[in-house]
Structure 1
Amino acid sequence: MPLTVPRDGIWLRLALTLEGTIRRSSYARQILCSQQFNDARTRWTLADLTFLRFALERLYSTQGHIRMSALSADCDLSLRQFERRFKQRIGVSPKMFARILRFEALLNSLIQEPALSFADAASRLGYHDQAHVIHEFKT
């Protein structure tokens, strides 16, 4: 019997992230609105929910600025197993999801702190320079 995913806390943040991403990207819209993603979500088990909650909480708390090897170790999984499980459940790789979170954090930082320079905001989130931000944006 499929579990119902709670609609608060980390799950609400995930829903808002996915909604924002879908609005901005036709590629994300194709992935996240696909029947495959929706079918997979109905089959999440308690173990899936526990794994996803922990991984998502770490991703959000670090604003996507975390090494996937560290995150997979925190989840007690090998890197390959972690990446495979995350992608099967969410529909995008954990690294791509972290990039989305980091870019959103940069946008929010620039909007909420207008006095903050672009370079300072970007370096806080682990971007090395403007070219790095542009490359991630294009990706």
Structure 2
Amino acid sequence: MYRLREPAHELRPYIENYWSVSHVPGEEVDLRVDAFVDARADLVFNMGAPYRREIIGGETVEISTSSLDAQRLVPIRIEQRGAVTITGVRFRLGGLAPFTRARLDRWSGLTPPPRDVWGAEALDLEASLRASHDLASAGRFLDEFFASRLRLDSAQAAFEAALTALVEASGRAPLGELADTAGVSPRQVERLFARGLGFPPSTVGRVVRFQTALRRLMDDPGVTLGDVAADAGYYDQAHFIRDFRLFSGGVPRGYRGYYPEEGPSDFAPNVVVFVQDESARLGRH
């Protein structure tokens, strides 16, 4: 059973949703999630069966504990079967930054346990989530945890201004323009992105262009690949296909018209498939 819950109002600019997957008594979950690159992080409290995390085209590991699946530049596939009990936090682009004092380039591409990021209090949070009987009660614990850690200072404001400018420019804003918007130097912009997102602005721009192209492709099954590439700001179709393969693990034609009606407004969704269903269902994660 897959559920979503909105966070408290003051957290919504940084956290898209809380989510949970749980088995129904007497049944087992058979779940697969293909997670595209979007430079966003998920905090996953795994309190049930272990799951397989595969870098598509790369290594596979089995994870039986909770982890922060930090911002990454590789597509992954999650497979989990059995008595599944997971509560998760889906951060927006750059949304993890105001909740931790650590530089996020320390965690890029890694899956550290929550205690490595937030200390012993993360263990207390997990204990509370284990005792929760539904996502509503879990959401209250998560709201309290993150509201107490929300830090909005001048550096965060400058980072948000530069990131917003980059996204609004579809990933194509030059570094000097981002610096002018944020009111800091170009070097400071690079440091803000290393701390707040774990990647330099140029890399984040590539991810934004990929996501722009992916959504266009999923929204409009009749669009040509050349038009998708041009509209997203790629030099040519070959560059678009290269980045698409790198960030999705697939090729563009496999995603034509594949966008669910209630997808998120900013970035395209990951593909969630409950294998035991008679017909595959799409969800957001």
Assess same fold via TM > 0.5: yes
The answer for the alignment partner of 1:100 in structure 2 is 207
SS at match of 1:63: coil
SS at match of 2:161: helix
Relative to structure 1, the CA distance from residue 38 to residue 105 in structure 2 (aligned partners, 3 Å threshold; closer, same or farther) is: farther
Structure 2, unaligned stretches of length 5 or more? 1-9, 17-37, 43-70, 78-104, 119-148, 248-285
1:48 aligns with 2:155: yes
The offset of 1:99, in angstroms, is 0.9
Map 1:1-139; keep pairs closer than 5 Å: 6-9=10-13, 11-12=14-15, 18-19=40-41, 22=72, 24=75, 31=108, 33-34=111-112, 38=117, 45-137=152-244, 138=246
The offset of 1:91, in angstroms, is 1.1
Counterpart Cα distance in 2 of 1:19 and 1:70: 26
Relative to structure 1, the CA distance from residue 91 to residue 25 in structure 2 (aligned partners, 3 Å threshold; closer, same or farther) is: farther
Counterpart Cα distance in 1 of 2:212 and 2:184: 27
Q: TM-score, normalised by structure 2?
A: 0.38
How many residues matched?
Answer: 129
Contact in 2 for aligned 1:59/1:65 (Cα 8 Å): yes
Counterpart Cα distance in 2 of 1:7 and 1:43: 8
Counterpart Cα distance in 2 of 1:34 and 1:78: 32
> Larger % of helix: which?
1
Counterpart Cα distance in 2 of 1:109 and 1:18: 20
SS at match of 1:31: coil
Counterpart Cα distance in 2 of 1:118 and 1:80: 36
Counterpart Cα distance in 1 of 2:224 and 2:205: 23
* Amino acid of the structure 1 residue aligned with 2:75: R
Counterpart Cα distance in 2 of 1:25 and 1:95: 22
* Amino acid of the structure 2 residue aligned with 1:8: R
Q: TM-score, normalised by structure 1?
A: 0.70
Give RMSD over aligned pairs: 3.6
Question: In percent, how many aligned pairs have the same letter?
Answer: 23
* Amino acid of the structure 2 residue aligned with 1:82: V
Structure 1, unaligned stretches of length 5 or more? 1-5
SS at match of 1:107: helix
> Which is greater in Rg?
2
Contact in 2 for aligned 1:58/1:71 (Cα 8 Å): yes
The offset of 1:56, in angstroms, is 2.2
Contact in 2 for aligned 1:65/1:125 (Cα 8 Å): no
* Amino acid of the structure 1 residue aligned with 2:40: L
* Amino acid of the structure 2 residue aligned with 1:18: R
